Chains A and B, each alone.
Chain A
Amino acid sequence: MNNPEGPTTADKPVVEDGIPKTNRPVSSAVAEPDATTHRHEPHEPPRQHLPEKLYEKSETVHNKRIDGPFRRFKWFVMLVTLGIYYITPWLRWDRGPYAPDQAVLVDIANRRFYMFGIEIWPHEFYFVAGLLIMAGIGLFLVTSAVGRAWCGYACPQTVWTDLFQHIDRFVDGDRNARIRLDKAQWSPAKIARRGFKWSIYLVIAFLTGGAWILYFADAPTLVREFFAGEAPLVAYITVAILTMTTFTLGGFMREQVCIYMCPWPRIQSAMLDEKSLIVTYKDWRGEPRGSVKKAKKEPEKFGDCIDCLQCVAVCPTGIDIREGPQVGCITCALCIDACDKVMADIGRPRGLIDYATLEDCEREAAGEEPKPVWRTLLRPRTLVYFGVWGAIGLAMLFALGVRSHTELSASPDRNPPFMLMSDGSIRNSFTLKLRNMESRPREMEIAIEGLPGAVMWTDTIRREDAAPTQTIDVGPDQTRSVRAYVMVPAGTPATDFAFNLTSLDAQGEQDTAEARFTAPGDQS
C-alpha cells in the first residue's frame, strides 16, 4: 500500500490550500475558528481523506484513566454483567431425581431449556422466541429512552473491551506510558511486557470461551471432563473459537467492532432523534475555545471549553465528542466524567459535556430552562415501546402460568387407513404421543370417546386385554410414543371420535386428541 505521506507525517495534518487534511478528526477550533457560530448547520471540520489512500490504518486507542460517577456506574455494570456470565452456570436448582439440577441449562442433546423454575420443551419454543422479541424491543425501548446506553454499558463487546483496557493500564501504565511503549522499538523488555499482557488476554479469553460451554451441560461435570480430556470434541472447538474471538475482538479490534462490524449502531442512528438522550457537547457554552489564561484576559470572548482534550483522551473509541453526535460514540459518558472534573478544577459549572437531548440543547442555548432528565423519558414513542414490551412479557407469563404439563396427540396410519380383521371387525392404527412434562413418572389413562363398541390395545398391551380404556405409564420428563390399535365390530361406519387423556394423579390434567375412525367406503 503506497502511502505518500510516509509514517513520519501520519499524525500531523497536511495543510494544503489552507485546509488541514488528515485521516483523523481535528479539533474544529483548530480547523475552523468561525464554525462555532453555526452550531446547527453542517460545520464539521474538514476531515478530508487523501484520495490516494485505499485504506485507513486503525489507530490504537489509549484511553486515559478517569474516575467519576459514570465510570463508577460502568464498573458496577461490568461487575454485574461479568458476574452473571461467569456465575450463572454454577447455580443449582433442585428439580428432583429425574431432571438436571443446574439452574440455567440449555440441554440441546435432550432438547430441554431449563431456567430456574421454568422448563421449556421444543414445542414451546415460542417462549424463547418471545424472549428474543422482548430483547429486541427492549433494545428499542432503551434506545428510545436513554439512547445508546446498551452500547455504552452493557454490550459484551463494551464490557470485555473495558476489561481489556484495564489490563492494558495495569500492565503498561496509563495513556502516555502506553503511547510511549507503542512507539518504542521492539526490545526484550517490550517483548516481555507484550507477552505478559497478551497472556492475560488469553487467560481472560479462555475463561470467557470456557464459561460459554457450561451453559450447555452440567457445569461441574463438564469442567472435570474438560481438563481430563474427556469432554466432547465440540466443547474444545467451541472454547477454542470463542477464546480466539474474545482475544481478537476484545484485545485488538475493540472500537473497530462498534464502528465497522456491528449493525446495531446503524440501526440506532436511525432510531435516534432530537428527543433522544445522548451524550452531547454543549457548544454554545463551550465555544469559542480558549485557555484559562486567555479567558481571564478577555472573558467575554471565550467559552467554557479550554480545549484540554481530556474528553478525547478518556474516550474508549477515540472520538472527539465535540464534533457532535456520531456513530463512533457509544455514549459511555466517560467524557462527561472527564469534563466535569476539569470544570470543577477551573471553577466552572459542570455539564459542558452532558447527557441531553438535542432539543434540550437548543432550548438551553436559547436561554430557557432545560427539561429534567426524567421528563425526556416520558414520551409517546418510549411509552409505546414499553407497552408492547410489557404486553409480550405479561402474555408470556400468563401462557407460562396456564400451560399444561400433559399433552396427547394422535396421528392415524394413512397406509393402510383401515384393516379388515379375520372376524370381520375393522381396525385403525394410531400413533399416540403421551407427553409428561413433570419430572416424575406418571400413570395416564387413555379413553375412547364417541366410538361405540370400540376397544383398544397397544404395542405393549396384548390384544386379549383390549378395552375401551387403557392405562399407560409415562416416564418422567418424557414423550412416550404408543402405537394404539382401535377396533370396532363389523359394520361400524366411519366416525369422528376422540382420545381422552387423564393423568392419574392429584393434578388430574386432561387433554383430548380428535381423530377419525376410517372404515371401508369412507369418502371423507
Chain B
Amino acid sequence: MANKHPDSRPVQPPAQPDTGGKRIDQPTGTETVGHEWDGIEELDTPMPRWWLCTLYATIVWGIVYVILYPAWPLLEKGTEGVLGWTSRGQLAEEMSLADQAQTSFREELSRIPIERLPDNSALMAQAVAGGRAAFKVNCVQCHGSGAAGSKGYPNLNDDDWLWGGDLKAIEYTLAHGIRQPGDDETRMSIMPAFDGVFEPAQREALVSHVLSLSGKGRSNSMGAQLYDENCVICHGPNGEGDRSLGAPQLNDAIWLYGSSRAEITRQILDPRMGMMPKWEHRLDPVTIKMLAAYAHSLGGGEDFVEVAEDPAVPVDEQP
C-alpha cells in the first residue's frame, strides 16, 4: 500500500520497497499498475462490474459455441460440434431453397411453347438470365465465354445461322445436337469430300467462283459450271445456302473455317464438319429453353416463322 499524508501532498510520497513501483497518481487518486515507459504510467482503474460480467459472458459464449459448432482443428478433421452444422451443408440448404424459389418460374417456363416466350417479356428476361448462367457451365468450352466462337465453332452473336436462328430452331439444335451419333433426329448433313475429283485448274476456278459469290473473287465460266454441277444442290445457285440441310451461305462475309483461298480449298477437298452434342438427356427441357433464349438474345436471334404446308400460302410472322 502506498501511503501519504495530506500535509506531504506536493512532495512525492516516500518510496515504498514493497509496492513494485506502484504509486498513487496525484490528480486522480488512483494507484498505478507499476509499469513505466518513457514516463508514461498506467492507472489501475478498476473496471465496472457489468464490464467484468460482459467478459465472463463472452467466455461462457465461447465455451457454448465450441460445444455447438465445429471449432478445434484436429489431425484428420476438426471437432464437429453437437449441432452438426457445416458450411457445405448450409450451402446445400441454401441452394435447395434457391431452387425452390425458382419452381414457379420453371413451371411457367416449361408450360409455355418457346415460340411464345417473347410475348412474355418478364419471363423472357428471366430465361435469358438463367440461360446466361447455364451457358457459362455447358457451352463456353466451344463457343467461348462471349459466345463469339472461333474457327470451326460458330459465333452465336451474329446473324448467320447454319440451321436456323429462331427460338424453335435453336431449341431443336440444342436438344438433338448436330451430327450426334445415335440420335435419329439430330441435325445431319455431310459435305462430300472432293479430293481427287478436280484437276488443279478446275479446283482454282471453283474456288475463285465461290469467292466471287461474296464479291471477293473473279467469277469464271469453268468455276461456275463446276459449281452448278457439284454444289448448287445444297448451297444454292447464288451461294445462299440451305438451312434445312445445314448448308452454309457462301455469299456472305462469315466463314466458319476461314475465307482464304487455301482454307476454302481445304474445305472443298477434305471438309471439316462440326459436331454439336445433343443436350436432351443431359439438361432438363427448361434449361434448354433458357439456353435457347440466351443464344437468341445475343443479337442475331430471328423471329419465328410458321412454315406453311404450301409455300405459296403467305406465312404468318410471329412477334
Q: Mark B8-51 against chain A: 1 for CB-CB distance below 8 A, else 0.
A: 01100000000000101011111100000000000011111111
Q: Shortest Cβ distance from A462 into chain B, in angstroms?
A: 8
Tell me if A48 and B31 are in contact (CB < 8 A): yes
Given A54-B46, A58-B50: A422 in contact with B3 (beta carbons within 8 A): no
Q: Mark A1-39 against chain B: 1 for CB-CB distance below 8 A, else 0.
A: 100000000000000111100010000000110110000
Tell me if A415 and B253 are in contact (CB < 8 A): no
Interface-side segment among A125-133, A423-431, A502-510:
A423-431
Q: Shortest Cβ distance from A368 into chain B, in angstroms?
A: 27
Is the CB of B157 closer than 8 A to any CB of chain A? yes
Tell me if B253 and A48 are in contact (CB < 8 A): no
Q: Which residues of B contact A256 (CB under 8 A)?
A: 48, 50
Q: List 13 A-B contacts (CB under 8 A).
A: A17-B3, A19-B3, A32-B6, A42-B27, A44-B27, A48-B31, A49-B44, A58-B48, A416-B148, A416-B155, A420-B158, A421-B254, A490-B253
CA distance A396 to B18 in the complex (A): 64
Tell me if B148 and A421 are in contact (CB < 8 A): no
CA distance A50 to B51 in the complex (A): 18
Grouping DSSP codes into helix (H, G, I), strand (E, B) and loop, the A interface class, with mixed when no group exceeds half, is loop
Q: Shortest Cβ distance from B102 into chain A, in angstroms?
A: 20
- 11 additional A-B pairs beyond A53-B46, A422-B249, beta carbons within 8 Å, are A18-B5, A32-B6, A32-B9, A44-B26, A47-B29, A49-B44, A415-B146, A419-B299, A421-B254, A424-B253, A429-B299
Is the CB of B1 closer than 8 A to any CB of chain A? yes
Q: Which residues of B contact A281 (CB under 8 A)?
A: none
| CB under 8 Å from chain B, chain A span 404-421 | 413-416, 419-421
Tell me if A415 and B148 are in contact (CB < 8 A): yes
Tell me if A51 and B29 are in contact (CB < 8 A): no
Q: Which residue of B lies closest to A45 (CB)?
A: B29
Is the CB of A85 closer than 8 A to any CB of chain B? no
Q: Which residues of B contact A51 (CB under 8 A)?
A: 1, 22, 31, 44
CA distance A425 to B145 in the complex (A): 23
Q: Which residues of A contact B146 (CB under 8 A)?
A: 413-416
Q: Shortest Cβ distance from A54 into chain B, in angstroms?
A: 6
CA distance A56 to B144 in the complex (A): 69
Q: Shortest Cβ distance from B165 into chain A, in angstroms?
A: 11
Is the CB of B297 closer than 8 A to any CB of chain A? yes
Q: Which residue of B lies closest to A26 (CB)?
A: B29
Tell me if B6 and A18 are in contact (CB < 8 A): yes
Q: Which residues of B contact A427 (CB under 8 A)?
A: 158, 299
Q: Which residue of B lies closest to A324 (CB)?
A: B27
Q: Pick the 4 closest A-B CB pairs, nearest first.
A: A415-B146, A416-B148, A422-B252, A47-B29
Q: Which residue of A lies closest to B161 (CB)?
A: A422
Q: Which residues of B contact A57 (CB under 8 A)?
A: 48-49
Q: Shortest Cβ distance from A179 into chain B, in angstroms?
A: 20
Binding site for B on A (CB under 8 A): 1, 16-19, 23, 31-32, 34-35, 41-49, 51, 53-58, 253, 256, 260, 413-416, 419-424, 427, 429, 459-460, 462-463, 483, 485, 490
CA distance A459 to B145 in the complex (A): 20
Tell me if B253 and A422 are in contact (CB < 8 A): yes
Grouping DSSP codes into helix (H, G, I), strand (E, B) and loop, the B interface class, with mixed when no group exceeds half, is loop
CA distance A31 to B29 in the complex (A): 12
Q: Which residue of B lies closest to A260 (CB)?
A: B48
Across chains A and B, the number of contacting residue pairs, with CB separation under 8 Å, is 120
Tell me if B253 and A253 are in contact (CB < 8 A): no
How many chain B residues touch A (Cβ–Cβ < 8 Å)?
A: 42
Is the CB of B92 closer than 8 A to any CB of chain A? no
Q: Mark B211-235 against chain A: 1 for CB-CB distance below 8 A, else 0.
A: 0001000000000000000000000
CA distance A256 to B48 in the complex (A): 9
Given A413-B146, A415-B144, A424-B253: A19 in contact with B6 (beta carbons within 8 A): yes
CA distance A49 to B33 in the complex (A): 12
Q: Mark B133-168 against chain A: 1 for CB-CB distance below 8 A, else 0.
A: 000000000001110100000010111100000000
Given A55-B52, A427-B299: A49 in contact with B45 (beta carbons within 8 A): yes
Is the CB of B4 closer than 8 A to any CB of chain A? yes
Q: Shortest Cβ distance from B315 into chain A, in angstroms?
A: 16
Q: Mark B285-309 against chain A: 1 for CB-CB distance below 8 A, else 0.
A: 0000000000001010001000000
CA distance A56 to B22 in the complex (A): 20
CA distance A422 to B213 in the complex (A): 13
CA distance A54 to B51 in the complex (A): 11
Q: Which residues of A contact B157 (CB under 8 A)?
A: 416, 419, 429
Q: Which residues of A contact B158 (CB under 8 A)?
A: 419-422, 427
CA distance A35 to B7 in the complex (A): 10
CA distance A427 to B300 in the complex (A): 11
Tell me if A44 and B299 are in contact (CB < 8 A): no
Q: Which residues of B contact A423 (CB under 8 A)?
A: 252-253
CA distance A356 to B29 in the complex (A): 26
Complex partner residue of A48 from B24, B144, B249, B303, CB under 8 angstroms: B24
Complex partner residue of A58 from B24, B26, B28, B49, CB under 8 angstroms: B49
Q: Which residues of B contact A16 (CB under 8 A)?
A: 1, 3
Q: Shortest Cβ distance from B88 into chain A, in angstroms?
A: 25
CA distance A416 to B148 in the complex (A): 6
Q: Which residues of A contact B22 (CB under 8 A)?
A: 51
CA distance A261 to B162 in the complex (A): 72
Tell me if A56 and B46 are in contact (CB < 8 A): yes
Q: Which residues of B contact A459 (CB under 8 A)?
A: 297
Q: Shortest Cβ distance from B59 into chain A, in angstroms?
A: 15
Q: Which residues of A contact B48 (CB under 8 A)?
A: 55-58, 256, 260
Given A19-B6, A413-B146, A423-B252: A47 in contact with B46 (beta carbons within 8 A): no
Q: Which residues of A contact B27 (CB under 8 A)?
A: 42, 44
CA distance A380 to B306 in the complex (A): 82
Tell me if B49 and A56 are in contact (CB < 8 A): yes
Given A44-B29, A421-B159: A260 in contact with B253 (beta carbons within 8 A): no
